[in-house]
Amino acid sequence: MAKGTVVQKIIDRHYVSGGKQPGEPVAVRIDQTLTQDATGTMAYLELEAMKIDRVKTELSVSYVDHNMMQNGPENRNDHLYLQTVAAKKGVYFSRPGNGICHQVHLERFGVPGKTLLGSDSHTPTNGGIGMMAIGAGGLDVALAMAGVPFRMSYPKIIGVELSGALSSWCAAKDVILKLLSVLSTKGNVGCIIEYFGDGVSTLSVPERATITNMGAEFGVTTSVFPSDDKTKAFLEAQGRGDVWTELLPDAGAEYDRVIKLDLSEVEPMAACPSSPDNISTIRELAGKKVDQVIIGSCTNSSYRDLMIVAAMLKNKRVSDTVTFAIAPGSKQVLEMISRNGALADIIASGARILEAGCGACIGQGQSPADDTVSLRTFNRNFAGRTGTKGDSAYLVSPEVACAAALTGAITDPRELKMDYPRIEDVEEFLINDDMIIPPPADSSQVEIIRKPTIGSPPENGPLPEVIDGAVVIKVGDKITTDHIMPAGIHLKLRSNIPAYSKVVFECFTEEGKPSFAERAAAVRDAGRHGVIVGRDSYGQGSSREHAAICPMYLGVKAVIAFAIERIHSANLINFGIMPLVFVDHSDYDRIDQTDTITINNARELKVGANLNATVSKSNGESFSIELAHKMSEEDIQIVLAGGRLNCAG
């Protein structure tokens, strides 16, 4: 077992119950929570369902940063609900336009050594200042706000030993892309990454936050940097030096695995379509024509990032063949670059200025043209995530993105005839928290506003004794939550489960054939149970619990795959769906979408015990398969009850 690491120290300080061997269930106390509007509405509806008068965390913040396009009343209806329920329950509210939750939380609320649970998979961004910041489904975050400890597997700790320093034109984004080429996006469930070594001190907090942000793509629980003098300087510049504490690994700290990375050997890289771990060097891609460049997202929209962009663009003009846009990560960043003239340089170059929010990263506008290349400084490039089917999105650093904007093609920025911009650490950030509304001390007179588009969490019955299942869909490897529940134009439906459920697995709907929702509803209405069959790394990507809620609403009782990713597995359990895995992977090939799967004695689930199921084919043939699970005793009780909201306490 790892000893003396930063991760272990934080877990020890927040330990509530459970084992301390990797893989064992452990419960930890949560100090802070964050929600964003796409997941937050359901989280607060769930909190209300628990009859909790006021949150029990040290700090909880509700951000509006996803659903800000107001085409129709739905998004603004959500905002009104979120603002008033925050006031009622004792939660800070960050208004639309104040910025992306992870960037703002890093700036204004994050505290080294604390635990943070967020209803967004990129919550680990705040690991950049030494927090144990974990993404989770909205219900888990609601439970944390209610004072319930967070359940997780005690982690294996992967130590990444950094040495050296980044060369000119090489960025923190290249560091995480290099690591993705090593660890990939699968096979890392139950692990936490901790960065250590002499190279850590060469990275600023914004650079560290870029690395921990995209650590979410590994599928790990979170990523953590130590809290050191660089952390202290950042917090002092934010006017919050009083919350700093030093948090370093002990000399000789033990890790379950160590990866060594010399920063001086890192070169500009890109994640190629359509996975964050499909890595190539920029040298290998150089010359490829680019149609669109966007700089922003919670990964690369800091003050430091945009100052580099402004310096590269000063007195220059972007290519006539490129549409170029930037989205600052926060109001603080936007106001600072507007006051110091950097924004004027960016605008003068021909850039379009987008709102300080998630926007294009989740397919909310700025979709690229058909059959064109889009370079983005974002964290995910899953197929269709841009809002364009068959898209070709590459993930790159701001330096590489800006070079492409100037030249019209993927270009190694080291080939540009310009000096590398040297951006000094900020000694004093502009502090203006006017768009963060603190909750009133007395909320007794606050009225929660609920417009007609806001529904309630759907109800689910206890798990039946027999799963009389029909395979509603059979899918392949790396099915993301974007595949299951599309964002983009559908995101405004998240408060209306019956409406949002109509687009489950929409990307797999064939013209002229019934959709997944129609097939699942037909199975449900016939008194049977839906089953989803997948392969490896099912449910990777975002924390969106709607990828469990909507299938549950449509009658799905089980997901069977080779492996199911951490957050999605927890969400399935929270809403009464069994996450099961094939004992024999070859059984996957024997199952067709027209088959039925019967699981007898489903309510006899036991820890570590496998289930037997019978697969029946349309020609009358049948065979048995063995299914395993990784559910704890508490998980089993939740599934048997039909979900967490059905459990007492």
CA-CA distances (angstroms) from residue 337 to 302, 397, 423, 535?
Answer: 11, 19, 13, 46
For residues 326 and 294, the answer to whether their CB atoms sit within 8 Å is yes
* Alpha-helix runs per DSSP H in 93-248: 101-108, 138-145, 172-183, 205-214, 229-237
CA-to-CA distance for 579 and 102, rounded, in angstroms?
A: 29
Q: Which of 31, 37, 78, 120 is catalytic?
A: 120
Which regions of 211-297 does DSSP assign to beta strands (E)?
222-224, 257-262, 269-271, 279-281, 292-295
CA-to-CA distance for 284 and 290, rounded, in angstroms?
A: 15
578-582 and 373-376 strand pairing? unpaired
CA-to-CA distance for 543 and 382, rounded, in angstroms?
A: 15
Question: Is 542 one of the catalytic residues?
Answer: yes
Q: Which of 37, 62, 66, 227 is catalytic?
A: 66
Question: Is 566 one of the catalytic residues?
Answer: no
Question: Is 65 one of the catalytic residues?
Answer: yes
CA-to-CA distance for 607 and 16, rounded, in angstroms?
A: 21
**Helices 205-214 and 303-313 meet at what angle, rounded to 10?**
100
Question: Is 412 one of the catalytic residues?
Answer: no
DSSP 649: -
CA-to-CA distance for 59 and 507, rounded, in angstroms?
A: 38
551-576 burial, b at 16+ Cβ within 10 Å, e below that, comes to bbbbbbbbbbbebbbbbbbbbbbbbb
Q: Kindly report the backbone phi and psi dihedral angles of residue 558, in degrees, each rounded to the nearest multiple of 5, phi listed first.
A: -150, 145
Q: Which of 102, 304, 380, 483 is catalytic?
A: 380
Cβ-based neighbours of 348, under 8 Å, separated by 6 or more: 313
CA-to-CA distance for 150 and 141, rounded, in angstroms?
A: 8
Classify residue 51 by burial, with Cβ atoms within 10 Å: 0-12, 13-18, 19+: exposed
Quote the tokens at residue 607. Answer: 């820890």
512: left (phi over 0), alpha (psi -120 to 50) or beta: left
CA-to-CA distance for 503 and 547, rounded, in angstroms?
A: 11
Classify residue 50 by burial, with Cβ atoms within 10 Å: 0-12, 13-18, 19+: middle
Question: Is 380 one of the catalytic residues?
Answer: yes
Quote the tokens at residue 420. Answer: 């590398």
Residues known to be catalytic = 65-66, 120, 380, 542, 544
